[in-house]
Amino acid sequence: MKIVLVSRIDDQKALAYTRDLADALLVDEHQVSYEPATARALDMQPAWSWNTPSDLAVVVGGDGTILHTVQQMEKQVPILGINWGEVGFLADLEPEEARGFIKAIRPGFAIEPRMRISLARDGETLGQALNEALIVTSRPAKMLRFVVVVDGIAAERFRADGLLLSTPTGSTAYAMSAGGPIVDPRIEGFLLVPLAPYMLSSRPHLISNDRTVEVRLESAKPATLVIDGQKSIELGKEGSIQVSRASRPALFVDARKNFFRKVDHKLRRL
């Protein structure tokens, strides 16, 4: 198989592990490449680009590294995450079990698609998020005013420090820290979580992705949109963001890790 390796580039041990994994995969007769930043961190000349066809992307890092990888891919390649972070909720394998798992992989391996959300303004796509999009004030200690419109109906009006637009996959990330529910990633919908709302009655909403969802900013303070912690866009003081299901989901190798067992292990046993 054609395998591209992606590593955390700020951790020498992760880079060394990635190099050793590449050597092992070559012994197993796979075609192995490094994505450009990883290649440069290993003092190699990049010979692979994000447009190069691949069968599998193996990512050695935490959730941030995996989110960055998804953002870089225009055409999604199945990802297998090896946890080299803290919680590592998007990474299914620990370093000591990864080689054996990859050695057993055969073409046609099972894939688990993960819904992403697409954000647009005035018909222009701003980006897609696998975990969440955050609308937050550009000025610290200032509140924003939001109107959430569902199928043309103003379903919620509130003031808050910000608003999280999360996928079910992202429900165990920032959204959970902000008081949102844990959502089964097989459910496809939009999770809206206000950040420190002024009124206690402003609660999280889980909305089906076959509805039209719009978030209107009605504030005297400027706001910023942050997508998966990777990309920031200045929104200004007023405007409307359209939220929809992205046409291309992220793809993850099915590592046979039960979601609810993972919740118990990674969150309740820390």
Three-class SS of 97-163: HHHHHHHHCCCCCCEEEECCEEEEECCEEEEEECCEEEEEECCCCCCEEEEEEECCEEEEEEEECEE
pLDDT of amino acid 36: 96
All domains in the chain, ordered by first residue: 2-114+249-267 (3.40.50.10330), 117-245 (2.60.200.30)
pLDDT of amino acid 119: 97
pLDDT of amino acid 239: 87
pLDDT of amino acid 268: 67
pLDDT of amino acid 201: 82
Tell me the two tokens of residue 208.
């089906």
Q: Distance between terminal CA atoms of the chain?
A: 36
Q: For the chain, which ranges sit under pLDDT 70? A: 268-270
pLDDT of amino acid 270: 54
pLDDT of amino acid 259: 86
pLDDT of amino acid 212: 96
pLDDT of amino acid 226: 97
Task: Please identify which of the residues 23, 55, 63, 228 carries the catalytic annotation.
Answer: 63
> Would you call 63 a catalytic residue per the annotation?
yes
Residue 8's CB is within 10 A of a number of other CB atoms, namely 23
pLDDT of amino acid 199: 87
Which amino acid, residue 123? G
pLDDT of amino acid 166: 98
Residue 5 in contact with residue 18, Cβ under 8 Å?
A: yes
Predicted TM-score (pTM) of this structure: 0.92
